[in-house]
Amino acid sequence: MEKPIVQKLADLEEQAFLNLLRQELDGGADPMGILEDCRAGMVLVGKRFEESTYFISDLMMAGELFKQATNLLAPKMPLSGDASRGKVVVGTVKGDIHDIGKDLVVGMLKANNYDVYDLGVDVPPEKFIEVIKETAAPVLGLSALITTAFESMKDTVDAIKEAGIRSEVKIMIGGGPVNQDVVEYSGADDWGADAQQAVTLCNRFMEG
């Protein structure tokens, strides 16, 4: 039997989940322990999505609940980078301003204890390169929801090659129209059809 806070998040019972979280905080529970329970709830959400029990709208709601939880927990604990599973840079490529898919990926990665650098939308290649160099992140996630942005994905990968850091970073791509053909065209390493697959790819990349 899952802990109540894990179950409430997984069942998307917003008010019950937030009330329980506040009660645990007020009762002196360890904020880090509560965060781990929230992550466990998000893992259950991801499994339900993989099993087609949950849909994109459910993932979005779960991501919003997790965001609210972290906002409540943040003032109560020092978030140390030591606990991170690794650094990931994520952004929607230049020419595309869609962020829903990207935000889902960011939320799921954070829920799985990744240190995520979200660069937003309409991101030029040089910005990705700048942040990869600054953070030494070994994984880059590129998002696009329009087919005309595939060229920007390719330009970004090419620019990373020209910057001499292609061997240092694994590149995953995603978005509604993305498939294996786009991987081959852009020069990326792999693609994910949804936010849960992005987590799976990150896990694989980090394990080498």
> Can you give the pLDDT at residue 80?
47
**From 55-64, 70-79, 132-141, 156-165, the region with the lowest mean pLDDT:** 70-79
Angle (CA) 55-87-103 rounded to 5° is: 30
Question: Cβ atoms within 10 A of the Cβ of 55, count?
Answer: 10
Predicted structure pTM score:
0.72
Of 90 and 97, which is predicted with more confidence?
90
> Average of pLDDT values for 73-98?
81
**Residue 188 to residue 60: CA distance in whole angstroms:** 26
Expressed as residue numbers, the domain containing 35 is: 4-76
- Residue 112 CB-half CA count within 13 A: 24
> Can you give the pLDDT at residue 83?
65
Residue 141 pairs in a beta bridge with 90, 172
Identify the domain boundary among 61, 76, 91: 76
Look at residue 61 and tell me whether its pLDDT is greater than 70: yes
CATH (domain of 131): 3.40.50.280
Size (the chain), residues: 208
pLDDT digits (tens, 9 = 90+) for 119-135: 999 999 999 999 999 99
Look at residue 18 and tell me whether its pLDDT is greater than 90: yes
138 lies in the same domain as 192: yes
102 lies in the same domain as 194: yes
Alpha helices by DSSP H, listed for 51-179, are 56-73, 100-111, 125-135, 150-162
pLDDT digits (tens, 9 = 90+) for 186-200: 999 999 988 889 999
